[in-house]
């Protein structure tokens, strides 16, 4: 498992934003992964997607790494942010915008506002 931990740490260290998900950004394989990827895609956030379905070691390893039982998992500048429910709440409250601003991650502020308006 230490090999998986090293690979996970390398992915997190070498990308500003990483989404460990089921499937890919273009073809998510579960509703929760689809929701988070959809938010990031719509907001134009540059991120690395990691398909945990292609690697059982990474799939279990990311749960152990973060001590978080579910996938997807979003990391921003090395920090574990959360899964689908947390990312959804943060998007709707504007906290995700604040986090991305604080971490100097580019995103489309108007798109983020449209998400909030559509869910008001």
Q: What are 91's two structure tokens? A: 């998007």
CA-wise closest residue to 21 among 62, 57, 66: 62
CA-wise closest residue to 20 among 30, 33, 10: 33
> DSSP string spanning 49-101?
EEEGGG-HHHHHHHHHHHT--SS-EEEETTEEEE-HHHHHHHHHHTHHHHHHH
Residue 84, marked binder? no
Rounded to an integer, what distance in angstroms lies between the CA atom of residue 62 and that of residue 7? Answer: 10
Residue positions forming the annotated binding site:
30
Residue positions forming the annotated binding site for [2Fe-2S] cluster:
30
């Amino acid at each position: 498992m230490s090999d998986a931990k090293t690979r996970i740490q390398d992915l997190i260290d070498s990308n500003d934003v990483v989404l460990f998900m089921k499937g890919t950004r273009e073809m998510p394989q579960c509703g929760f992964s689809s929701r988070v990827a959809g938010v990031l895609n719509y907001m134009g956030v540059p991120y690395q997607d990691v398909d945990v379905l292609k690697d059982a070691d990474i799939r279990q390893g990311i749960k152990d790494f973060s001590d978080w039982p579910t996938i997807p998992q979003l990391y921003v500048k090395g920090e574990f942010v959360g899964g689908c429910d947390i990312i959804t709440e943060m998007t709707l409250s504007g906290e995700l915008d604040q986090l991305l601003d604080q971490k100097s991650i580019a995103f489309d502020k108007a798109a983020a506002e449209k998400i909030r308006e559509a869910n008001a």
